[in-house]
Amino acid sequence: MREGRKADSTLVDVQKIHPGILVDLKYATADNFTRKKIYHFHRCFLQNKVAVALGKVQTKLESMNLGLKVWDGFRPPSAQRKLWEACPNERFVAHPSKGSCHSRGASVDVTLVTKDKKELLMPSAFDDFSEKACLHYKDAPEIALKHRDLLHRVMHEEGFLSYEWEWWHFNFQGWEQFPPITTFEFNIIR
């Protein structure tokens, strides 16, 4: 990422806000539903207000010997187009012409990890576009449902809103206040 002269927005690296947050951007690798590398960066960027709230979630989880793993944060418009081409279904991928909360730096895809950075069991894998990913899916191991419920409780307490079709996806309350970031150049607080 580079600093642009004419910035659309200011984003921060979530690990600068809270270094304990584990980042594993799935779209920076081929380990995603497209089986292709979509991003050329490996850091998670979010609006400052969103990143600070995520840091508070991490602090809460650390008191339970848990933590967060981030799979996605800010998503450039070019990446949104590639994801739409791979999955043109607005239930799972926002149409590029509308932009997404990810394209505003106001949305994050996360899961829970242990103190040793091992993912906790959830009802589905990341980017599982089946009913298993839905918030109201109940036919999963009880422990997976408890983990999902814990994740949603701690995220809601810090202002994040759930998305019905993906247990891992959270939009920050008031996401509308952040304009879509339409260029790949933006200011980054270091």
pLDDT score of 183: 65
Decide if pLDDT at 4 tops 50.
no
Decide if pLDDT at 160 tops 90.
yes
Task: Give bridge partners of residue 13 from the DSSP assignment.
Answer: 45
Catalytic status, residue 119: no
Structure tokens at 159: 């202002």
Decide if pLDDT at 175 tops 70.
yes
- Closest residue by Cα to residue 112 from 51, 71, 157: 71
**What average pLDDT does this structure show over 30-57?**
93
Helices (runs of H) and strands (runs of E) counted in the chain: 4, 8
What does DSSP say about strands 10-13 and 187-189: parallel, antiparallel, or unpaired? parallel
Higher per-residue confidence, 155 vs 89? 155
pLDDT score of 6: 32
The pLDDT-based confidence of 95 (bands split at 50, 70, 90) is low
**What average pLDDT does this structure show over 121-136?**
95
Q: Give residue 176's identity as a one-letter amino acid code.
A: E
Distances from the Cα of 161 to the Cα of 143, 181, 190, angstroms: 22, 21, 27
pLDDT score of 78: 79
The residue from 62, 90, 142, 166 that is catalytic is: 166
Sorted by where each starts, the structural domains of the chain and their CATH numbers stand as: 10-189 (3.30.1380.10)
Q: Region of 66 please: left (phi>0), alpha (psi -120 to 50) or beta.
A: beta
pLDDT score of 10: 80
Structure-token match 């809103």, residue found: 161
Average pLDDT, the chain: 87
